[in-house]
Structure 1
Amino acid sequence: MSKSTNAFPRLDNHSVPLILLGGTLCNHRLWQPVINKMNVSSVSSLIVSGAGSAPALAKQLLSALPPRFCLAGFSLGAIVALQMLANAPHRIAGLALLSVNPLSDAPANAAGRRAAVQDAARQGMGNWLSATMWPRYVAPVNLADPALHATITQMADESGNETFALQTEIAITRADNRAALKTFTAPTLILNGGCDDICTPQHHLAAAEAAPHARWITLPDSGHFLPLEAPNKVADALRNWIKEILL
């Protein structure tokens, strides 16, 4: 979790600023180690919240963002990124999907998701996350990393229950937007952890099959939380993707 020395020269992407969308119970802390390493001229990390459905949030973000941009989403942020792609592919100069499940959510999941929001409110966000999600969030080799655990639980506590409730509705209302991937020809990156049992290799295969031109990279020793588990490797992959966009 220590800040790495930046060895890259400055990469000027002002013409297509990088927009980073976080996941459930995530804030700026998710992306900061990656941003520190990338050394790009224009980047913004956004919290996925502020609307109660994936289509509504995608519309809201598109109304506020520049005319054209690079878009990278992690987990729930990747779901919203796919909805933005379906809505306005001409706005997106390149797409990166990290820890993504491109499928729609099964209706049977809704009750359990909403019950989790209530449990988290009773127990406290960080306590709930530690007890239920932490063992699934990172690779086995990272389970004993106290700094990683502290960062993820701190993000949950800072996000709060209202944000969690909205994010849960976004997850429930997501659509299967793989058709948008099939017709999108700009540089596309798919990045996943080999130890991720939330957004599994099969989920990423489904995304890759929908976007045969995409570059698919698996980090074998990482779990779901790629930007915090392997920030240097994620930064390298995103930087190379942006360079391809700028060609």
Structure 2
Amino acid sequence: AEAAAGRFEAIAAELGQGWLAERNRMPANLALLAEMARHTGAEAFGRQQRAIAGRRDMRPLLGQISCPTLVLCGSEDRLTVPEGHIAMARAIPDADLVILGGCGHLAPLERPDAVTDALRSWLRR
């Protein structure tokens, strides 16, 4: 609603405050997120937010997953908190869980080497 009301630039500038761990809220990362939001645009951003808000809860189906699964999150993720990832990993048979310290919701941006290492390790198993 705020984006549709003309506040999209302000929203784009504020994204990093909730998505990044505090230690990763450096000007370069904040500028990158704002640019990514601007590139997406207000209309697409609004569609994404409506899709997220209206999506069906699939948690009851997690126990049906039968393929190898890695659940990875940042320890400081405030949007999808680690407790939720822990619950997902417990619900998915034989899932692997990695919680990376020092990052929030955007682990590939905040700790790219650690994400790569976790993926490589998981793929080797």
* Short-chain TM bin: 0.7 to 0.9
Which amino acid is 1:123 matched to? R
Over 3 Å counting, the alpha-carbon distance change for 1:147 and 1:175 in structure 2 is same
Which residue of structure 2 aligns with residue 135 of structure 1?
A: 17
Gaps of 5+ in 1: 1-114
Quick one: distance in 2 between partners of 1:180 and 1:211? Answer: 9
Report the 3-state secondary structure (helix = DSSP H, G, I; strand = E; otherwise coil) of the residue aligned with 1:191. Answer: strand
Structure whose residues are more often helix by fraction: 2
Q: What's the CA shift string for 1:222-247, capped at 9, x where partnerless?
A: 11111100011111222333344xxx
Report the 3-state secondary structure (helix = DSSP H, G, I; strand = E; otherwise coil) of the residue aligned with 1:196. Answer: coil
Which residue of structure 2 aligns with residue 228 of structure 1?
A: 109
TM-score by length of 2: 0.87
Contact 2:16 2:29 in 1 (8 A): no
Which residue of structure 2 aligns with residue 169 of structure 1?
A: 50
Quick one: distance in 2 between partners of 1:146 and 1:180? Answer: 40
Quick one: distance in 1 between partners of 2:116 and 2:106? Answer: 14
**Percent identity between the aligned chains?**
34
Deviation of residue 176 (structure 1)? 1.5
Aligned-residue RMSD, C-alpha: 1.7
Contact 1:138 1:225 in 2 (8 A): yes
Gaps of 5+ in 2: none
Contact 1:137 1:223 in 2 (8 A): yes
Which amino acid is 1:159 matched to? T
Which residue of structure 2 aligns with residue 152 of structure 1?
A: 33
Quick one: distance in 2 between partners of 1:196 and 1:136? Answer: 8
Q: What's the CA shift string for 1:62-103, capped at 9, x where partnerless?
A: xxxxxxxxxxxxxxxxxxxxxxxxxxxxxxxxxxxxxxxxxx
Deviation of residue 203 (structure 1)? 1.5
Which amino acid is 2:41 matched to? G
Which of 80, 92, 95 in structure 2 is aligned with 1:199?
Answer: 80
Quick one: distance in 2 between partners of 1:146 and 1:165? Answer: 25
Report the 3-state secondary structure (helix = DSSP H, G, I; strand = E; otherwise coil) of the residue aligned with 2:57. Answer: coil
Which amino acid is 1:130 matched to? A
Q: What's the CA shift string for 1:194-244, capped at 9, x where partnerless?
A: 111111122212212211411111111111111100011111222333344
Structure whose residues are more often strand by fraction: 1
Contact 2:74 2:101 in 1 (8 A): yes
TM-score by length of 1: 0.47
Which residue of structure 2 aligns with residue 211 of structure 1?
A: 92
